[in-house]
């Protein structure tokens, strides 16, 4: 009976690093897959339409909440662009243009 516990403990010690490596790899794989999928989906016409509609409806909802609760307005603004909706400028064929923030879709709200 005592040897069973020893072998079970040794087996658990042998499997732990394999389990840890597997979980670490799977987490990185799914994170990369999701980010790549979302980035590629944003480039399609349907993806652009979906995200534009999402950001507009989210901005409308956040503006309504901010109107009801002014103390929350600062927290509801996008942290990446500080509520401006842009993340800088770039040279376009028509002159200088603003780069739309990826997080808020250019609305300035979370």
Q: Which residues of 8-31 are buried (b: 16+ CB within 10 A; e: fewer)?
A: eeeeeeeeeeeeeeeeeeeeeeee
Cα separation, 59 vs 34, whole angstroms: 24
Confidence category of residue 89, pLDDT binned at 50, 70, 90: low
Confidence category of residue 46, pLDDT binned at 50, 70, 90: very high
52-57 LR contacts (CB < 8 Å, sep 24+) = 52/105, 54/105, 55/104, 55/105, 55/106, 55/107, 56/105, 56/107
- pLDDT per position as a tens digit, 69-81: 888 888 888 888 8
Tokens linked to 78: 């996008």
Confidence category of residue 53, pLDDT binned at 50, 70, 90: very high
Q: Which carries the bigger pLDDT value, residue 89 or residue 40?
A: 40
Q: What average pLDDT does this structure show over 9-13?
A: 88
């Amino acid at each position: 009976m005592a040897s069973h516990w020893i072998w079970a403990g040794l087996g658990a010690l042998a499997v732990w690093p394999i389990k840890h490596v597997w979980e670490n790899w799977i987490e990185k794989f799914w994170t990369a897959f999701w980010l790549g999928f979302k980035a590629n989906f944003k480039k399609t016409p349907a993806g652009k339409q979906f995200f534009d509609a999402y950001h507009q409806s989210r901005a409308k909802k956040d503006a309504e909440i901010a109107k009801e609760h002014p103390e929350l307005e600062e927290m509801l603004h996008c942290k990446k662009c500080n509520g401006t909706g842009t993340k800088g400028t770039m040279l376009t064929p028509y002159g200088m243009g603003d780069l739309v923030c990826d997080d808020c879709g250019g609305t300035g709200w979370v």
